[in-house]
Amino acid sequence: MSDNRSGIWRRVEELVDRAPGTAALRAHRLHLVAVRSWRARGRHVPAGLRADEHSAAIMALAVPLLLARARAAYSGSLMLMKGPEAAAHREDPATRYFRDLDLLVDDPPAAQRALVARGFIEGGNPDDYEDAQHLRPLAWPGVPLVVELHRRPNCPQWLMPPPSQELFRGAVPSRTGVEGVLAPSPAVHALLLAAHSWAHRPLARLADLIDIVAVLDADGRTVADDLARQWGWSGMWRTTIAAADAVLADRSCPLSLRIWARHLRPARESTVLENHLLRIAAPVWAMPLAHAPRAFGVAFTQAAAKDSNESWDDKRRRSGKAVAHAFMPESAHVRTLKRSDE
């Protein structure tokens, strides 16, 4: 993909106009882009989207405050990933939604203790974070933004994360401007953004592809390709960047967008069936053939598992509704589940 930034942002606005409604815009995290685009063209901005814009502005104002407090509390290395760091690469940073600060640190337990000693408050159940990629979330009283100190970058269970020391070696100053806070190099950041997306819902959101393209500089594509091979991430990276090329640069449509990520080009929500399919198909798609059975096993186990706060009877009822709602947009399915629980 060429480094034609203005062309990328024109394509993003086309995707906004293509989306079938507000629910799709929110699903792809393009709703803040829509606010900016519609207001610039004199179009009506719904009250709900104006409220989203207001909340996002409050989050953005809290970023330098929390980063400065974290930096003052802990003297080790702090690397900001995703969120406001990715936003800073956009044409308009205010169009990038985020709700937490993801900080990779060189000594997570020491950093957590230091921030708690300086007034940050731990949240969540400690048992839930024993083996997680980050420690318990941290909040500052009165500030809605959450800080998460990472042991390692988030990536799918079937991929090995790169050593944190390697990521710190190529770090650059954060674009937030907070002194002493680092950011991944552009190529590394693009790979980490892709891995984070695949750890949750591979090729699920257009905003994830936009982030990846936005952070890559002119030389970043080649460097990212090389790093992906070194880390064993080539399949995931190749699939991701091919999807980004197709959606944002009008390149040929890869098989992934024709089979299990068909919702991306029309900027619509994935259906319940498509959501389950992408969770299972994506890891098999991205792994070498010899590793595909293990990847499929991990993906299937995750799809079949119940949530920590539900019983197996609840899981069976939820699965039954998923089958009944197979061709329903995901957000509508979630709303029906919530209504049935009330």
pTM of the complete model: 0.86
Residue 218's pLDDT is 76
Q: Between residues 223 and 333, which one has the greater pLDDT?
A: 223
Chain segment 53-63, per-residue pLDDT in tens: 999 999 999 99
Chain segment 107-129, per-residue pLDDT in tens: 999 999 999 999 999 999 999 99
Residue 186 above 90 pLDDT? yes
For the chain, the domains span 5-257
Q: Between residues 33 and 283, which one has the greater pLDDT?
A: 33
Burial 91-118 (b: 16+ CB within 10 A, else e): eebebbbbebbbbbbeebeebbebbeee
Residue 122's pLDDT is 97
Across the range 17-38, mean pLDDT stands at 96
Gap between the Cα atoms of 282 and 239, Å rounded: 9
Residue 47's pLDDT is 97
Residue 2 above 50 pLDDT? no
DSSP helix/strand/coil, 45: coil
What is the CATH number that goes with domain 5-257? Answer: 3.30.460.40
- Which amino acid makes up residue 306? K
Chain segment 244-301, per-residue pLDDT in tens: 999 998 899 999 999 889 999 999 998 877 777 777 777 777 776 666 666 666 666 6
Mean model confidence pLDDT for the chain: 88
Taking every pair of Cα atoms in the chain, the longest distance, rounded to a whole number of angstroms, is: 55
Q: What share of the chain is helix, strand, coil (3-state, %, to 5)?
A: 60, 10, 35
Chain segment 50-109, per-residue pLDDT in tens: 999 999 999 999 999 999 999 999 999 999 999 999 999 999 999 999 999 999 999 999
Gap between the Cα atoms of 286 and 159, Å rounded: 10
Q: Phi, psi (5° rounding) for residue 321?
A: -70, -35
Q: Residue 134: which region, alpha, beta or left (left: phi > 0; alpha: psi -120 to 50)?
A: beta
Q: At 333, list the tokens.
A: 């399915």
DSSP helix/strand/coil, 288: coil
